[in-house]
Structure 1
């Protein structure tokens, strides 16, 4: 059993020709989306991975809320690995829009004729989490539409092929975008990876991309099966508990592939179902009212980062209760009971 770092170390001298692109390689690209490269791309238009580790302020990378120390270690490992060091970062697009509640970050890496197009999941900003809540209400959110435009823009160049990757919300964007691009672009996509990202809320067939679509969740997944209208997924073993399994660094690897499990963790599956059913029991209007109320409470309390919420679960619970005042009592009680289950599980760890 190993992890990302042992995998890189073991296969660092194997080129992408000697060892063709693997699912684990896709996972590595997904994790790279949680790093901001804009400071160096102002100087170097198309830096290689072997340059990025030396050009970025690694102390700043390490200070990042989402796995900062591991991200620093990852950049250094890739910089010294023959397999990855000559891959170039040729595009980075970031959209932050408070009005439409959009947090969008896409990257394109290139090696020879292949593009590796990666969509970031939700960051720690409250804006990003508001966007996640919007996915409970609206079948399509702006980031998914921008994902379509991004793929069509990057793949307008002739003779280019692409592997499209995303983790969490980024997995949903990768799926939606690959499904909705024009047919000419869709033919250029060789694989789509959705790592623990929710299915599309709108029930639509994945048939046009089914034979190149790969979805992976962990044994106690919460986000990956939220809408639960997909059966085409594989379960990957994580060395962490419950929500912490969403962290890609905890996914277990053997040789050139993941360690797979036959079934989900039944206990956490039941907790996840209760949370999902409680939220989805709300009418469209109730969900919309809940999100608007919660957003106003965050704004009134000057909460801009998720870290501010995790510092005080009791305060967070009070905020949730206040935002549910216009929801029927029975539904409100069910949601708060679910919140209690979630908080108690978080505290147990």
Structure 2
């Protein structure tokens, strides 16, 4: 049960002040955000990969090959149950690249600022609530030719619960392209990978499971839960989508979705944009959280406000967000997938004409890229230009809006 009152702040403040273990203060939605945001951090080589674990323990024959006569009891136990043997969060800081003050690897670009990641990681490592959680089964996939970006990691809580964290969209055009592809294609490769990851982790280890993810990661968490066998679904306790996109209307009304909907918690900032893409079924449990900033930066979970072990909530989304949801989803429902696909392809040709691979580079590189991008835009046919202008108009109208009904009471990260 959530406690009344508590320290007000952001998730960063929460991990500094909530030190009681999960047996005293049960796992809650703010904890789910903690593990979702942790999934954005670069994964050190010391974390075993899912492929490595399956190669070593994936079958009985493979486990028998690992038998060590010097440790017969432990080896016998490992035959019956795959050992977890993860890396504890408290031990991660010594070799985590960002925590050591180095730049994050370029293979894992992220919108999360390095200074925020460093402080977050070090705080978790020193907090007894989180420090004993073990990380394992890392998986990272990045395919430019297939417009696919996927990453996931599994955390084991002290009581044996497995928390699977799906990484959201990173700072690459490839990652953003896959998000846009969701508007006309189902499933996209990352969604299939998410279900496959859950299935493989559940095959390795027993115990209850919780799924969490921010942005696209939230969508992947829900998709994975919908698309695994019933015996695995029965182990899933809760599913958290932190401002994750929704699904096509046909999916949201499917029996697969109905089987898990009572376990879904969707958290959105008061002026959400990303979380309102595609259908947002009312049967889900929705939490509208107050943010300490306006506009598109509300999407960052580090800017959401907390009150003790709960989010600081508001009754409803801003009028601009509600209008965006109605307009964007009407547009998606009334345009054939082929037209949307052509428009998305055209948009990313324009962005790629900048010569950059990351949206952040495009946003900060000044005016020098404009002529090439404009030339690409002018070269599109009239319908492609119209699609781009319609979509960008809706997004920018919501992204630049101010919600007068919310008093922002904390500074942004």
Q: Same fold (TM over 0.5)?
A: yes
Q: Which has the higher contact order (CA 8 A, sep 6+)?
A: 2
Alpha carbons 1:242, 1:268 under 8 Å: kept: no
- 1:36–1:310: structure 2 CA closer, same or farther, 3 Å change rule? same
- Higher mean displacement: 104-113 or 203-212: 203-212
Q: Does 2:239 match 1:188?
A: no
Q: Per-residue displacement from partner, 1:306-341 (whole Å, max 9, x unpaired)?
A: 112213589398478447525177656534644664
- 1:256–1:200: structure 2 CA closer, same or farther, 3 Å change rule? same
Superposition RMSD on alpha carbons, in Å?
2.9
2:118 matched residue in structure 1: 72
Counterpart-to-counterpart distance in 2, 1:340 and 1:213: 29
Q: Does 2:298 match 1:230?
A: no
Q: Does 2:119 match 1:55?
A: no
Counterpart-to-counterpart distance in 1, 2:37 and 2:117: 8
In the TM superposition, residue 42 of structure 1 has moved relative to its aligned partner by 6.9
Q: Secondary structure at the match of 2:15?
A: helix
2:36 matched residue in structure 1: 30
Q: 1:283 aligns with which of 336, 352, 363?
A: 336
Alpha carbons 1:161, 1:188 under 8 Å: kept: yes
Gaps of 5+ in 1: none
2:24 matched residue in structure 1: 18
- 1:83–1:151: structure 2 CA closer, same or farther, 3 Å change rule? same
Alpha carbons 2:350, 2:374 under 8 Å: kept: no
Q: 1:6 aligns with which of 13, 18, 25?
A: 13
2:219 matched residue in structure 1: 172
Q: Secondary structure at the match of 1:260?
A: coil
Q: Per-residue displacement from partner, 1:227-278 (whole Å, max 9, x unpaired)?
A: 1332221211111112111110111111111111111111343356445555
1:215 matched residue in structure 2: 266
Q: Does 2:381 match 1:325?
A: yes
Counterpart-to-counterpart distance in 1, 2:175 and 2:375: 18
1:124 matched residue in structure 2: 171
Counterpart-to-counterpart distance in 1, 2:377 and 2:326: 20
Bigger CA radius of gyration: 2
In the TM superposition, residue 33 of structure 1 has moved relative to its aligned partner by 0.8
Counterpart-to-counterpart distance in 1, 2:381 and 2:10: 45
Q: 1:302 aligns with which of 355, 359, 365?
A: 355
Q: What TM-score comes out, normalization by structure 1 length?
A: 0.89
Q: Secondary structure at the match of 2:224?
A: helix
1:142 matched residue in structure 2: 189
Q: Does 2:344 match 1:269?
A: no
- 1:267–1:293: structure 2 CA closer, same or farther, 3 Å change rule? closer
Q: 2:308 aligns with which of 246, 255, 258?
A: 255
1:240 matched residue in structure 2: 293
Q: Secondary structure at the match of 2:30?
A: helix
Counterpart-to-counterpart distance in 2, 1:342 and 1:267: 6
Alpha carbons 1:155, 1:161 under 8 Å: kept: no
Q: Per-residue displacement from partner, 1:81-134 (whole Å, max 9, x unpaired)?
A: 111111111111001112221100001011242111010100001110111111
Gaps of 5+ in 2: 1-7, 50-84, 403-413
Counterpart-to-counterpart distance in 2, 1:169 and 1:267: 22
In the TM superposition, residue 62 of structure 1 has moved relative to its aligned partner by 6.8
Q: Secondary structure at the match of 2:259?
A: helix
